[in-house]
Structure 1
């Protein structure tokens, strides 16, 4: 080894030694780095060597910069919460006597989910998790650690839903998708080494069958609502003529509607594609709005 390389090695070793001594907590706070390469990194104590080691999470696979910032914020919060409990990114591989408890892993996942912006996704994921926890509670020997969850255990759970509770193949696949994302979350944080859901395949499902309303059905609906519930009629006309999604329509405010320009402003904060948009409204909608006093 050349003297210059030896000097660099020694400087690196001394820096890590100094880093270990200057951080009695055993870790540094995670930091987001941006530029050509986006990543979050931090130092944490390696129990095997007693030295600080650098952990790095690459974010370049996330295309949108807005999504990178959002994911980085969630990741940093999750890492800090874990570090405060005594976790290090090396302990699962090298400290098998210190496993991650399921209750702690689930609590961290719930916090991660609740920081998401989409209300529907939050409710769906928490509902899936609640049902999965209920299944684990029903077992005679409930697993206490993340690593105790096996593929066969998950297959039994999905079979119970599909064969005994009678959910459709599509719904069963949705449960599998949730489990896959849940355990990917655990893999990303080194709670486990591999995803036990990966060997489980989706069931074949038939195409969705949608029956559009016929002209006579639309006429009956219009006549009934015109007499009994004009507010519901307005909502139906909004959906029918503007294609604003029901979840978006719930968040439309009065000042998002322009009578002069005959359009509705849909903010990127509530739209599915996260983009601002102006949607045209026709006179039929506008007249009904005015009749209702809007």
Structure 2
């Protein structure tokens, strides 16, 4: 190699970015780091080499361009000078050999995630998202960050591609050992997040397009109905060991109130004289105010443990599942259920929410009119639900079939 060429390479190599061991940089500036190209020769021939930051590896990585196809040492060195000049210009302008696009268009992935978090926080504050919806999205983001940290360093939005999504879903389904439904829930989150990135102009298309959920026909529902004799054992145990939790079990079994709705119910929502419970729209899943029937068994037990003696603005479940001023997390019900499940050695498929499925099944088996069951359950399709809501909207009192109803719990 000529002295002139060696001198050129020696002076340019002092520019910032010539550290091949640099691993802790982040942001777009990291992708712009490089070591100036140099021409080298060995027994195998001539080549150009330089280092540039590889976002996939999270460090500087060597790039080699072989020039053996150029015959003659003089021709090869002349050609190398032209290539080095062109490469240097490209590198100075933000080109990166490990990225399929110019670094000038790069968006830092963590910044995109933070913007998404700000978006869902605004949606919650504005009332467009329910608290459980917001909590769900926050949980998905947390696990995605966990995956990035443990399995797949991801620095820029362009790396959020189809392979990322497929591998992340495998991580959720296989490595974290979640069920098929959970895997499908994460796929739905990735679709929503992809749509957000497209809307903001970070991506041109959704990387989730073409990724299919696991068909519901191919997996067994994790939650099962509980045999009635087991339901009786649960009632006996709770009456002795978990009396306050038993009232939550009653509301789920007889009234089909979702756990998250239970945490928002107050004493004032109960009409003991009419044997009804009204769930305001702002507290319910479908944002519609609905009135259901309270069986006398539920009312009598609530009176027995002092639920309806509390101030009317108290939540019926607060600290230790007793009435109080503080709203609790639905996780409290799952924790109490886990205590019951361990004490009675119940199957893991028998979830707390299984009481709702079991209660509806028993009510149907006990020949309660189907339309009354659907009214009470509030879980039919929107079209059918609207019909039943219209019929029950002006009810002055609870349904007679359900008021006197006494099931296995």
Q: What TM-score comes out, normalization by structure 1 length? A: 0.61
Distance 1:278 1:161 in 2: 39
Deviation at 1:217, TM superposition (A): 1.5
Q: Who is 2:139 aligned against? A: 127
Distance 2:221 2:132 in 1: 21
Distance 1:237 1:139 in 2: 44
Deviation at 1:197, TM superposition (A): 1.4
Distance 1:223 1:139 in 2: 47
1:270 to 266, 279, 283: 283
Deviation at 1:139, TM superposition (A): 5.2
Segments of structure 2 that go 5 or more residues without pairing to the other structure are 1-101, 309-409
Tell whether 2:248 aligns with 1:235: yes
Kept in 2, the 8 Å contact 1:113–1:122? The answer is: yes
Segments of structure 1 that go 5 or more residues without pairing to the other structure are 1-94
2:163 to 152, 157, 176: 152
Distance 2:175 2:268 in 1: 50
Q: Who is 1:104 aligned against? A: 111
Kept in 2, the 8 Å contact 1:187–1:193? The answer is: yes
**Secondary structure of 1:201's partner?**
coil
| Structure number with higher relative contact order (C-alpha < 8 Å, ≥ 6 residues apart) | 2
Larger Rg: 2
Q: CA RMSD in A?
A: 2.2
Deviation at 1:123, TM superposition (A): 1.6
- For each residue in 1:39-80, what CA deviation from the matched residue of structure 2 results, as whole angstroms up to 9, or x when unmatched? xxxxxxxxxxxxxxxxxxxxxxxxxxxxxxxxxxxxxxxxxx
1:67-216 counterparts in 2 under 5 A?
97-114=104-121, 115-116=123-124, 117-138=129-150, 142-204=153-215, 205-208=218-221, 210-216=223-229
Deviation at 1:221, TM superposition (A): 1.8
Q: Who is 2:292 aligned against? A: 279
Distance 1:215 1:160 in 2: 38
Q: How many residues align?
A: 199
Tell whether 2:280 aligns with 1:248: no
Q: Which runs of 4+ in 1 moved over 4 A?
A: none
Deviation at 1:185, TM superposition (A): 0.9
Deviation at 1:145, TM superposition (A): 2.2
**Secondary structure of 1:260's partner?**
coil
Deviation at 1:209, TM superposition (A): 5.4
CA 1:131–1:261 in structure 2 vs 1: closer, same or farther (change >3 Å)?
A: same
Distance 1:262 1:182 in 2: 44
